[in-house]
A = this chain, B = another copy of it.
Amino acid sequence: MTTIKEVAKRAGASVTAVSLSLNHREAGHVKPEIARKIRRTAQEMGYKPSPLASSLRTSRTRTIGFVSEEIATTPYAGEIVLGAQDAASELGYMMLLVNTDGKANEDEEIAALRRYGVDGYMYAKMYNRVTVRPSCLDGVPTVIVNASDVTGATPSIAPDEVAIGSDATNRLIEAGCKRIAYVGCSENLRAESLREQGYEKALKGAGMSFDPRLRIAVGNNGPALEAVAHLFRSAHPDGFFCFNDARTWYVYACAARLDLRIGEDVSVVGVDNHRVVAQTLAPKLTTMALPHYEMGYWGTRRLVHEIEGRDLSVPSSLGMQDQWRASIPPLDGPNERLIHCRLIERESVREG
């Protein structure tokens, strides 16, 4: 590792001049010509500053602590990490990852991160909910990911669940479905009620009546399959909005038994936590992928904004939301992701 001292010697300048020049804070201190020379030789020598040493002085490390609960429980939640990692890398940050199982070691892990001098925290939840920011994060730049702050004081980023519900339903309406079912989840999840809200909203918006028999909430395995089979028999839906891939699968299984073809006899739009459905099921499926990657990506940019004050609201390379939303194909097109990603600002936590 070549040091700043070596560069100084080689360039015939002082370490001060080198430090200033390489940090572009030379104005009024170092002759431009010398600054140029310094930068050139630094380049030649392949000099890279040691973040450890500089952080000892500045107490800034250009590292971000990513705090997550059980990354594994929702497979594609790993995408949050991916997106965060990508953004961090673009912005010259490093990601320190810790995992907490529930609540026990959370404060401990956060403290460990602090010892390593992280500049800020990504506090990620693995399913969308209202959460309370741990007090040990008070006063430290923090972004809550895939959840929202109970106080609304902390920047947070989460999927737009209502929009997911109404977009999915609208897609089915556009496809000509007349009897659209919602196959929900019997657990009391935030996403569940919000998506159902979106579903009803879309139905109302299209002037369609809301038949309660078309709306079911199911559990898992055998009973779920049975409930969906009953839905088919009793309410004869021609379109299905499914809460997640498990529910999507139940619809598929029942359709197969009834010899109904997806995309022909019935239409299905399902939210896909796992992308497995999109990978394995028929090409006629329209899935809505949760914006895990985007949350990680945007969340990290937001965090760096908190840390540095840099404006990072416009993404550099990735065109997100609007671009992808604009490219929603017709229902019978290829598999497709509908993306929703909304940054909830400090001032207004709108749950809409």
Contact = CB atoms under 8 A, between A and B. Distances in A.
Interface of A: 1, 48-53, 55-56, 61, 63, 66, 70-72, 75-79, 81-82, 85-86, 89, 94-99, 105, 109, 111-113, 115-117, 220-222, 225, 245-246, 249-250, 252-253, 256-257, 259, 274-277, 279-283, 293
A52 B117 contact: yes
Given A78-B71, A78-B75, A78-B78, A220 B51 contact: no
Contact of A56 (B56, B259, B283): B56
Nearest to A281: B249
B249 A280 contact: yes
Contacts of A94: 96, 98, 112-113, 116
A50 B117 CA distance: 9
Contacts of A66: 97
B85 A97 contact: yes
A66 to B, nearest CB: 8
25 contacts: A1-B115, A48-B115, A51-B115, A52-B55, A52-B56, A70-B82, A71-B85, A81-B97, A86-B99, A89-B99, A94-B112, A95-B98, A97-B97, A220-B280, A221-B282, A222-B282, A225-B282, A246-B279, A250-B280, A253-B253, A257-B257, A257-B259, A274-B276, A276-B276, A276-B277
A248 to B, nearest CB: 9
Contacts of A249: 280-281
Given A245-B276, A249-B280, A274-B75, A50 B115 contact: yes
Nearest to A250: B280
Label chain A's interface by main secondary structure.
Answer: helix
Contact of A116 (B51, B250, B252): B51
Contact of A52 (B116, B246, B283): B116
A85 B293 CA distance: 20
A16 to B, nearest CB: 20
A59 to B, nearest CB: 9
